[in-house]
């Protein structure tokens, strides 16, 4: 039996000078956002892009609050990564949990793992475990920040640096929108940013444990997310205006 070859961390392609220029621009973006808005919050999944964001927020001393969606179905490595990040940067990451009643309502209708049955139950599960908690986490915020990049998927190719989150009535920023995957890893290597353990095991994109798997070499980097659904269904709804 042939063992499949999985995705691996790409080699960096930037010179130190090029990376320094990109980093300076990123720092400037974050500082500008934190000056324009009184209450800015960053949603981190602890994956590579979000670790770059955490590192730059810390080094730029930007006034941006960090939180993570503790869905209840995360890999243990992700749960552990929260503390690793807090210890490394000396920051507090707010853990935002879903309401037990929302989770139970999903289970009553679809079953614990009913999201495998199709797009609608998948959306319902993400709604209970991610979207409603995100809404709660952003109450009172003036703006929020993501680690999204244009290169990540076909649904993000038109991604802008700044947009209006219509459903929540606040500004939304994607400071890494124009960074490549190679840029991300060049930064992580140069700045010794903590790496999520699953990235070392063939996971380029990390979500909830039952909905994420390793990606084979040559596959789309989001192919491991909701792999049982069509290729255009690789979003949970967090970044879709409701």
| Catalytic residue list contains 236 | yes
Whole-angstrom distance, CA of residue 69 vs CA of residue 219: 27
Whole-angstrom distance, CA of residue 211 vs CA of residue 77: 15
- Phi-psi map region of 202: left, alpha, beta (phi>0 left; psi -120 to 50 alpha): left
Question: Is the distance from CB of 53 to CB of 147 less than 8 angstroms?
Answer: yes
Query: Shortest CA distance to 236 belongs to which of 138, 165, 155, 170?
Result: 155
User: In Å, how far are 25, 144, 152, 172, 173 from 163, measured between CA atoms?
Assistant: 18, 10, 18, 5, 6
- Structure letter (DSSP) for residue 240: S
User: Tokens 């956002």 map to which residue?
Assistant: 33
Q: Which residues have a catalytic role annotated?
A: 236
């Amino acid at each position: 039996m042939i063992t499949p070859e999985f995705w691996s961390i790409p080699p960096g392609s930037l010179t130190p000078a090029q990376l320094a220029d990109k980093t300076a621009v990123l720092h400037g973006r974050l500082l500008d956002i934190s000056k324009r808005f009184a209450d800015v919050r960053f949603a981190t999944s602890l994956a590579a892009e979000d670790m770059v964001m955490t590192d730059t927020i810390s080094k730029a001393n930007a006034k941006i609050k960090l939180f993570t969606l503790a869905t209840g179905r995360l890999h243990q490595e992700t749960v552990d990564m929260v503390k690793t990040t807090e210890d490394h940067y000396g920051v507090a990451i707010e853990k935002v949990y879903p309401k037990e009643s929302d989770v139970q309502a999903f289970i009553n209708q679809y079953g614990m793992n009913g999201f495998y049955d199709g797009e609608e139950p998948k959306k319902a599960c993400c709604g209970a475990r991610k979207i409603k908690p995100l809404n709660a986490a952003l109450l009172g915020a003036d703006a929020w920040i993501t680690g999204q990049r244009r290169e990540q998927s076909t649904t993000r190719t038109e991604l802008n640096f700044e947009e209006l989150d219509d459903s929540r009535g606040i500004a939304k920023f994607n400071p890494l929108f124009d960074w490549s995957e190679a840029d991300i890893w060049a930064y992580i290597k140069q700045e010794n940013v903590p790496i999520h353990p699953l990235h070392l095991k063939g996971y380029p994109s990390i979500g909830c444990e039952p909905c994420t798997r390793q990606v084979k070499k040559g596959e789309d980097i989001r192919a491991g997310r909701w792999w049982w659904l069509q290729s255009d269904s690789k979003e949970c709804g967090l970044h879709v205006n409701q």
